[in-house]
Structures are given as C-alpha cells and as structure tokens.
C-alpha cells in the first residue's frame, strides 16, 4: 500500500471518528499542552500539521492570543469541528495533504500533535525537509507524537502493518527515537531534543532551524 492509499484510508477513518475525537483526546491534553509550554515567547506565525478539531490550539491561544495559525489536515469533518471553536477566526484552514499543500515560508514555528506517526522513514524525511524549508532561521519544529524507544519495536510495528495492511483501518507505525533524531539532523535541524512525556506512548520533539 503506497502513501496516497494509506492516507486516504486514514482520512476516511478520522472523518468517521470526528465527532468522537475530543472525547478520547481530551484525556491526553497534557501531550498537547507541552507544545505551547515550549514555544518561543515571540512566536506569532504558526503552522499546525494535523490540527484536527484544534485541541492543541486551546492552550496556544490562551497563552498567545495574538498568534496567527495556519492548519493543514486531510479530514474535512475534523476541520468542521475546529471551525466551531471561538478562536476559529484567527485560524487559516487548509483541507489537504501534508505532502501536497504548498507551505508558506517564514513561520516562527511548525507544531503537530499525534499526527505524524503514520509515515515510513523515507516519507517522513521528505516531510521534515518541507517543514525545515518553511521555517524562518531560528524557527521551531515541535512535535508531540508516538515515538518508540528501540529499533526492534519499530520493526515489529512496521512488520505487523506490512503483513496486514487492511486489518486495521488506522494503525500506527511510529519510528524509533534514534531514527526520528537522525532524520531531523539529516534535513538540517539543530538543537534537537526528544524527551519522554508522562504518557509513555508519547515523546516531545523540539528542533530548531
């Protein structure tokens, strides 16, 4: 199954789960709050990849009321729920694929929460290069996501998916922490930190252009 086929399946999954999404992810707000906690104080122009219903933007706009955020997400139904937020007028919404949408340049930060763990190393490197290129010098990439501890875990998750690609309509295939760091380094990021969160399934990546 290629990237486009998988993305279509995942989009369909989230379209169907849009009205239930907040019930699940509100329980994991700590994983989203850390993004805002680690943004530079002067961050204004921000790109959010996979914003969904906009949960991670709730604490962001509380701390940065003057922020201007562009969100990119493939799920039209998830974005319809984001449009109901009281801060929606501050958000430019793009319904599209991370790999197809033309990111603008000179963002202060690119953020993402629980959205980038569906790509293999080759595709993720392409995306990280695109993120790097749209940031201003000194800009941040902050990603709170599922990241594994070891190569063995990564190989096991990927093999299960490759052996049964149609078994799970939404199956995570996260990378190991050392691969995440290597890919960020290869596209040019500096000062890379990948730290554990209280939720053992998630880690927080922070990298600077």
Q: How far apart are CA 169 and CA 193, in angstroms?
A: 32
pLDDT tens-digit map of 176-200: 999 999 999 999 999 999 999 999 9
**Architecture of the domain spanning 3-208:** 3-Layer(aba) Sandwich (3.40)
Mean pLDDT taken over the chain: 90
Above 90 in pLDDT, residue 166? no
pLDDT tens-digit map of 139-151: 999 999 999 999 9
pLDDT tens-digit map of 74-122: 989 889 999 999 999 999 999 999 999 999 889 999 999 999 998 999 9
Quick check: 33 and 7 in contact, CB under 8 A? Answer: no
Percentage of residues in the chain with pLDDT exceeding 90? 73
User: pTM for this structure?
Assistant: 0.90
CA distances from 22 to 7, 10, 90, 153 (A): 21, 17, 20, 28
Q: Which residue has the tokens 């039209």?
A: 76
């Amino acid at each position: 199954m290629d990237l486009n086929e998988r993305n279509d399946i995942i989009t369909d999954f989230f379209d169907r789960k849009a009205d239930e999404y907040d019930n699940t992810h509100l329980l994991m707000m700590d994983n989203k709050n850390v993004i805002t906690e680690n943004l530079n104080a002067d961050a204004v122009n921000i790109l959010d990849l996979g914003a969904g219903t906009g949960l991670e933007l709730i604490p962001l706009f509380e701390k940065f009321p003057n922020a201007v955020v562009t969100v990119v997400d493939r799920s039209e139904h998830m974005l319809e729920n984001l449009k109901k937020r009281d801060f929606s007028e501050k958000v430019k919404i793009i319904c599209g694929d991370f790999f197809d949408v033309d990111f603008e340049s000179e963002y202060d930060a690119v953020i993402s929460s629980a959205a980038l763990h569906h790509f293999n190393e080759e595709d993720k490197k392409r995306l990280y290069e695109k993120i790097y290129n749209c940031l201003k010098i000194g800009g941040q990439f902050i990603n709170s996501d599922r990241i594994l501890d070891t190569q063995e875990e990564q190989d096991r998750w990927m093999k299960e998916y490759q052996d049964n690609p149609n078994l799970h309509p939404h199956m995570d295939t996260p990378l190991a922490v050392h691969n995440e760091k290597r890919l960020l380094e290869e596209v040019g990021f500096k000062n890379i930190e990948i730290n554990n969160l209280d939720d053992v399934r998630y880690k927080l990546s922070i990298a600077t252009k």
